[in-house]
Amino acid sequence: MAERLVLFLFKQNKEKIKDFSENLAKLKELRYCERCFNISEENLCEICNNKQREDDAICVVEDPLDIISIERTGIYKGLYHVLGGSMEAGEEKNDLKIPELLERLKKEGIKEIIIATNPTTEGDMTSLYLKRKLQNFKIKITRLGRGLSTGGDIEYADELTLSSALTNREKLN
């Protein structure tokens, strides 16, 4: 596998190889943001560090790649929280970053949680579970609207669909 990759890279132009090796070197520096668990080069990610972001909304996603897709729409200006996966059938997964999310709600002045789990069975279950966990907080809970294809993945949703799902998010409480 590694040999094939090296061979493939060898055939690319020099500029591409330079780009790739620079990105590869950065990989060592990457870590999880200590607040939202996005991928980050510092203790806090670019989004958490950005004072221009609206700090009263958290969009909850399964995976850091979902953040990239949502950011591409340019519609959402708030913060994020990465769960690190979704619930599996009949199981309470305890490695999801849900306790950390609840901690943030106690400390930060959050007014809205947007649940942006994938439109899959697991994503739906995670959303229901979150809704239950969040009901004691006085915050608005919304979920990305219909239109995202069922069984799909937010990471692969096109910008237009994702934009409309964000704009038409449904209130859950």
Nearer to Zn ion among residue 48 and residue 58 (C-beta)? 48
Selection from 143, 155, 55, 70 nearest residue 105 by Cα: 55
Among 36, 130, 141, 162, binds Zn ion (CB under 5 A): 36
Among 4, 8, 15, 38, binds Zn ion (CB under 5 A): 38
Query: What SS3 class is residue 1?
Result: coil
CA angle 19, 45, 86 (to 5 degrees): 100
Shortest distance, position 81 Cβ to Zn ion, whole Å: 8
Shortest distance, position 141 Cβ to Zn ion, whole Å: 21
Q: How would you class 144 by CB atoms within 10 Å of its CB: exposed for 0-12, middle for 13-18, buried for 19 or more?
A: buried
Shortest distance, position 67 Cβ to Zn ion, whole Å: 9
Shortest distance, position 121 Cβ to Zn ion, whole Å: 28
Q: Does 45 bind Zn ion (CB under 5 A)?
A: yes
CB atoms within 10 A of CB 106: 8
Q: Does 67 bind Zn ion (CB under 5 A)?
A: no
DSSP character at residue 146? B
Stretch that binds Zn ion, among 48-56, 81-89, 97-105, 108-116 (CB under 5 A): 48-56
Question: Distance between CA 105 and CA 110 in Å, rounded?
Answer: 6
Stretch that binds Zn ion, among 23-31, 40-48, 84-92, 94-102 (CB under 5 A): 40-48
Shortest distance, position 99 Cβ to Zn ion, whole Å: 17
Which residues make Cβ contacts (< 8 Å) with residue 74, sequence separation at least 6?
A: none
Interacting residue ranges for Zn ion, rule: CB under 5 A: 33, 35-36, 38, 45, 48
